[in-house]
Amino acid sequence: MVLSGLSPRGDLVRAAVLGLLGTRGASSRADIARMLRVSPATVTQTTKELLQRELITELRSVPSTGGRPAILLGLVRAAGGAIGAKVTADHVAIVSVDLDGTVRTSRSVPFDPSAPAALEALSGILRDAVAAHDGHLLGVGVGLPGAVDAQASGLVDAPTLGWGRLPVGRRLRDALGVPVLVDNDVNTLAAAQIVYGNGREHPSFMVVTIGLGVGCAIVQQGSVSRGAHGGAGEIGHIPVSADGPPCGCGNTGCLEAYVGEAGLVATAARTGAIGQRGTIDTLSRAARAGKPAALEVYRDAGRLLGRTLAGVVHTVDPGLVVLMGEGVRDWEFWETGFEESFRQRLMPARRGIRCLVESWTEDQWAVGAASLVLASPFDAAATGAQGELVRARLQTAPEVDR
């Protein structure tokens, strides 16, 4: 039993102010106080110090709305950027982003996670990215398809990569010399939503990804819910039928085995929607061409996803569901089946829940990973020691690094 609501805060507010000005742009002191839920007095104190240290500056005043006009505060210079990397079974996608989330560079490097020295290879790839990064680097965020036990250890269980209890966090930290935050890939998307996306209006929501697999991140009260071993949100392995196709996890009848990429393709091949050697792209094109059998594959997948997600919504009670992942590009084909099944299966009280489909770009996974770093100024509890390092770096003068 821990006294919740009581945790060491360090100088969280200082970092949060800088983070807020970076991610949201110029804001008044009163706005900062409201957004961070701290008292105006604290903001005055904090900004006074940051002004003295010339990390922030007073910009123009904004016209009054009936009271004293607000003075906008802004960062003196780019307070820093972050590197984000998404690890997959065959490549690592890397982006370098600014504090406001704009992507500066984006690239992809082949990667074999099953190689004996995979971790060394990953270190190397990231070391290059760190070296190539221009400007003040706050840290590196890494997202991967698996459970990350605790941020402190960065211990990773990722069956699809063939990684079991691999101390990814610690090893990368040792190799890179900058703060490294590691988390489940879907959780990183949620972190991005918290800082830049729908999380700004919704304290509790869910991110659901469709693509190779099916994933989910649960955000409660503004922070990502990780479960006892960092494995929360594994909805891809919810059993949806008594028997069913085999799944990569070793069981049969998992949701993912039906509506994950491989499952879709297998179903499509079986029903003749695509040929025996067809791929997800073949299926997508067939659907786009209006081929009924292909449309039916997606519609069935939508139904099954809808039914299962209804159960997850009942369990978690999110205020919003955000759909992401490669698969949403074909969402129009999932949608009819999904909506029909999802809404119908929800309890009446939940039936009105909003489902938002985000447009998807290739580097979104990596941007999410970078958001892990950019979100850490706002989340003292979750990010642990590495987050503290990020917060410390946020306050060091950028020019020192240049």
Partner DNA sequence: GCCACTTTGTTCGAGACTAAATTTAGTGAG
Partner DNA sequence: CTCACTAAATTTAGTCTCGAACAAAGTGGC
From CA 369, how far away is CA 181, in angstroms rounded? 8
Q: Which residues contact 24 (CB under 8 A, 6 or more apart)?
A: 35
Per-residue binding letters, 10-29, with DNA (x by CB under 7 A): xxxxx-------------xx
222 closest CA partner among 365, 369, 16: 16
Select from 242, 243, 400, 402 the one that contacts a second copy (CB under 8 A).
Answer: 242
Select from 157, 326, 339, 340 the one that contacts a second copy (CB under 8 A).
Answer: 157
Sign of CA dihedral 16, 50, 140, 12: negative
Q: Which single residue is written with the structure tokens 């297998």?
A: 266
Q: Tell me: does residue 36 bind a second copy (CB under 8 A).
A: yes
Per-residue binding letters, 316-335, with a second copy (x by CB under 8 A): xxxxx---------------
Select from 1, 2, 6, 400 the one that contacts DNA (CB under 7 A).
Answer: 6
Q: Which CB, 67 or 110, lies closer to DNA? A: 67
Q: Tell me: does residue 14 bind a second copy (CB under 8 A).
A: no
Per CB under 7 A, the segment of 33-41, 81-89, 125-133, 302-310 that binds DNA is: 33-41
Which pair of tokens denotes residue 17? 């102010």
Q: Tell me: does residue 356 bind a second copy (CB under 8 A).
A: no
**φ/ψ of residue 51, rounded to 5:** -65, -45
DSSP label at residue 80: -
Q: Tell me: does residue 220 bind a second copy (CB under 8 A).
A: yes
Closest distance of CB 305 from a second copy, Å: 12
- DSSP string covering 284-352: HHHHHTT-HHHHHHHHHHHHHHHHHHHHHHHHH--SEEEEESGGGGGHHHHHHHHHHHHHHHS-GGGTT
Q: Three-class SS of residue 368?
A: helix
From CA 395, how far away is CA 379, in angstroms rounded? 16
Per CB under 8 A, the segment of 116-124, 171-179, 216-224, 389-397 that binds a second copy is: 216-224
H-run or E-run covering 58: strand 56-61
Select from 45, 106, 153, 395 the one that contacts DNA (CB under 7 A).
Answer: 45
Q: Which CB, 132 or 385, lies closer to a second copy? A: 385
Q: Which CB, 104 or 354, lies closer to a second copy? A: 354
Which pair of tokens denotes residue 59? 């910009």
Closest distance of CB 99 from a second copy, Å: 15
Q: Which CB, 5 or 177, lies closer to a second copy? A: 5
Q: Which single residue is written with the structure tokens 């479960």?
A: 227
Which pair of tokens denotes residue 266? 């297998």
Q: Tell me: does residue 147 bind a second copy (CB under 8 A).
A: yes
Q: Which of residues 131-170 bind DNA (CB under 7 A)?
A: none
Q: Which of residues 270-309 bind a second copy (CB under 8 A)?
A: 307-308
Per CB under 7 A, the segment of 40-48, 104-112, 120-128, 145-153 that binds DNA is: 40-48
* CB 160, CB 213: distance < 8 Å: yes
CA–CA distances in Å: residue 214 to residues 118, 145, 161, 184, 337: 25, 10, 16, 13, 17
Interaction site with DNA (CB under 7 A): 6, 8-14, 28-31, 37-48, 61, 63-71
